Amino acid sequence: MKRPTALALLLLTLSGQAGAVEATVSAAQIQSFRGASVGERVDQLIFRGGMTLQSPDDTFGGLSSISQTGAEQRIAFVSDRGHFVSGQLAYDEADRLFGFIGVTIEPLQNSSGQILPRQYARDAEGMDTIWRDGAAVGVRVSFEHLTRVADFTIHEGRPGGPAREVAIPQWLTDLRTNESLESICIAPSASPVAGSTILITEEALDENGNHRGEMLGVRDKGPFTYRNSPIVNPTDCAFLPNGDLLVLERGVSLFSFVMNLRRVPAAEVRPGNLLAGELLLSAQGGEIDNMESLMVHVTPGGETRILMGSDNNFNGWQRTMLLEFALPD
């Protein structure tokens, strides 16, 4: 392997200091899912549409988690190559998702304000927003490989700035694989564990074969487990406004992706408990892709929606897709 020249190193340094860049993202609407049209029921949910996303920017992809970061449908993804991808979801007159606009892509920083130096440190897999008095003030991000949790500030709907490390138990810090800390979400005010951060591992199992988890909170703090299901592992989590916990699960069967969405009642989300959710939705094959992102939000039309997204792993044969559903009344 050739050693990089001084000029190449200088160019890399300058590009690393460039910060956020604008990206053009095109979208194609998804009009059906598992034979259901928009507005029709699929399992325990109502299908509300979706879209696939593409961009000529080679840093767009690998979207591992999604979170609302401000008003007017401002959202951000975090990617497993160490970027925040921020923008705004666009809806048509029928309250159907049709675009992702005003997109910027910005590298994550370490605590010194420098771009993360190695892929080993960039593998961000989970993210949720920190809210104070109704305003989004930061995001909390979980990482695999160099397993850790860090907070980043939000400015005008875009997360960024130097990382602020969040203390986690030693057993989590000791995990050093790409199947470690996959899911993170923060309990809302309606939850019995309001304000607590929920961490769920992908492949760190207890003696009974269930996924190990940890709850970080002032009063509600300690380990819990999440029931293991065949084929799939948890990849993201999000809370409904009433405090119920949603968990997205993903796996591979017969060379195709599989996904489940489960709902855990609010009263069961507590330290020391085994969480076992009701199955709300299941799919596999061409209807989905590598589903890793989960968000609950309110659309411009005022409906609470569940949005799930896929991580294309920067592969040309995979898709970046968003699917949106609602709970029946």
Tell me, what's the pLDDT at 1? 38
Distance between CA atoms of residues 54 and 37, nearest Å = 23
The number of residues in the chain equals: 329
Give the integer Cα–Cα distance in Å for 106 and 20: 4
Is residue 112 very low, low, confident or very high in pLDDT (cuts 50, 70, 90)? very high
In the three-class reduction of DSSP (H, G, I as helix; E, B as strand; rest coil), residue 170 is classed as helix
- The sign of the torsion formed by the CA atoms of 102, 237, 142, 310 equals negative
pLDDT of 329: 85
At 144, the pLDDT band (50, 70, 90 cuts) reads very high
Which residues, including other chains, have CB under 8 Å from residue 245's CB and lie 6 or more apart? 185, 198, 237, 238, 239, 263, 264, 266, 269, 275, 277
pLDDT interval class at 224 (50, 70, 90): very high
Res. 242 pLDDT band, cuts 50 70 90? very high
Of 15-24, 282-291, 314-323, the one with minimum mean pLDDT is 15-24
Give the pLDDT score at 9: 31
- pLDDT above 70 (res 17): no
Instruction: Give the model confidence (pLDDT) of 49-82 as tens digits.
Output: 999 999 999 999 999 999 999 999 999 999 999 9
How far from the centroid of its chain's Cα atoms is residue 123's Cα?
12
The span from the CA of 210 to the CA of 213, in Å, is 9
Give yes or no for a contact between 276 and 221, defined as CB atoms under 8 angstroms apart. no
| The listed CATH number (2.60.120, 2.40.50, 2.115.10, 2.30.31) that belongs to domain 24-108+115-326 | 2.115.10
Buried b (16+ CB within 10 A) or exposed e, 38-64: beeebbebbbbbbbbbebeeebbbbbb
pLDDT for 4 beyond 50: no
- Band (pLDDT 50/70/90 cuts) for residue 11 is very low
Question: What is the CB neighbour count within 10 angstroms for residue 22?
Answer: 10
**What pLDDT, on the 0 to 100 scale, is given for residue 70?**
97
Residue 187 has pLDDT above 50, yes or no: yes
Across the range 292-313, mean pLDDT stands at 98
Residue range 254-281: mean pLDDT, rounded:
96
Handedness of CA 269, 274, 278, 281 (dihedral sign): positive
Report pLDDT digits (tens) over 43-53: 999 999 999 99
Query: Which residues lie closer than 8 Å to 144 by C-beta, 6 or more apart?
Result: 80, 123, 125, 177, 178, 179, 180, 181, 182, 202
Q: What is the dihedral of CA 132, 322, 83, 90, to 10 degrees?
A: -60
**Which of left, alpha, beta for 268 (phi over 0: left; psi -120 to 50: alpha)?**
alpha
83-102 residue pLDDT tens: 999 999 999 999 999 999 99
The pLDDT of residue 111 is 96
* Three-state SS letters, 75-126: EEEEECCCEEEEEEEEECCCCCEEEEEEEEEEECECCCCCECCCHHHHCEEE
The strand pairing partners of 21, in sequence order, are 105
Mean pLDDT (whole number) for 174-191: 95
- Rounded to two decimals, the pTM is 0.93
Mean pLDDT over the full length of the chain? 93
Average pLDDT over residues 278-299: 97
pLDDT at 255: 86
8, pLDDT greater than 50: no
Cα angle vertex 96, ends 263, 284, to 5°? 45
Report d(CA 37, CA 33) in Å as an integer: 7
Owner of token pair 């190449």 = 8
Residue-level pLDDT at 12 = 34
